[in-house]
Amino acid sequence: MELLQGLSSRRSVRGFKSTPVPEEALRAILQAAIRSPSYTNTQPWEVAVVSGRKRDALSQILYDLASAGTPSSADVPAPTQWPPALAGRAAEHSARRFRVLGIERDDADGRNQLRLQNYRFFGAPCIIFLFLDSTLGDWSTFDLGLFAQTLALAAHGLGLGTCLQASVTHYPVAVRSFLDLPPSKKLVLGISLGYPDPAAPINRYESARAGLDEIVKWYR
């Protein structure tokens, strides 16, 4: 796939086929991701790839916590407020997603069911968790973001889909305990990975973008 075309056609996938991802493809994607740039080439990323029965068990643990309304104790807390322009974009993102699925504004149950799909990994057969050592700072989080994007693009290049998910980081104690990792490993992101299901209605949703004029100041 041509690079610029791949960049513009990648989008978050929220409905996957259950078809397993071959280990060869997983390795190719991770091999691409480890080529990501990082601050003084420190390569701070630590990665857990979970599939098969382990994926099902971990999904159930997280789903149970989320559906019981357990408050998030994420290592990287969710923002509590946004500047107005960003809050507007976030609200539009939610509203347009609900519209695609026919979920009404006051349908609290419909919205909650959609939220809970995060913990089913949207049906993806594989979930990848990204960790950082807790001694690391903002630049390493930045590096991990680059890693996540490269991974998503490499997957896209192989015909696979991804959804980057902060939601699956809400219960880091449960994730670390399941993966037998120490508390010093900060859970930063989860990435659902699998073959996109073209029949899933949620995959009809296409996110918008602010125009260049809203983002870029030119100095000539």
Ligand X SMILES: Cc1cc2nc3c(=O)[nH]c(=O)nc-3n(C[C@H](O)[C@H](O)[C@H](O)COP(=O)(O)O)c2cc1C
Specify whether the CB–CB gap between 156 and 10 falls below 8 A: yes
163 interacts with ligand X by CB under 6 A: yes
CA distances from 58 to 25, 77, 179 (A): 22, 21, 9
Work out which of 47, 101, 166, 181 binds ligand X, going by CB under 6 A. Answer: 166
* C-beta closer to ligand X: residue 51 or 169: 169
Helix (H) or strand (E) holding 148: helix 138-157
Give the E-state strand segments of 59-184 in sequence order.
126-133, 161-165
Residue 53-92 contact track with ligand X, rule CB under 6 A, x = bound:
----------------------------------------
Q: Is 38 a binder of ligand X (CB under 6 A)?
A: no
Question: Is residue 14 at the binding interface for ligand X, with CB under 6 A as the rule?
Answer: yes
If phi > 0 it is left, if psi is from -120 to 50 it is alpha, else beta; for residue 158 that is alpha
**Selected binder of ligand X within 74, 116, 158, 164 (CB under 6 A):** 164
202, HSE (Cβ side, Cα atoms, 13 Å): 22
Using CB under 6 A as the binding rule, whether residue 140 contacts ligand X is answered as: no
Q: Are 103 and 110 in contact (CB under 8 A)?
A: yes
Q: With respect to ligand X, which residue has the nearer C-beta, 30 or 127?
A: 127
Contact letters for ligand X, residues 185-214 (x by CB under 6 A):
----x-----------------x-------
Interaction site with ligand X (CB under 6 A): 11-12, 14, 93, 118, 163-167, 189, 207
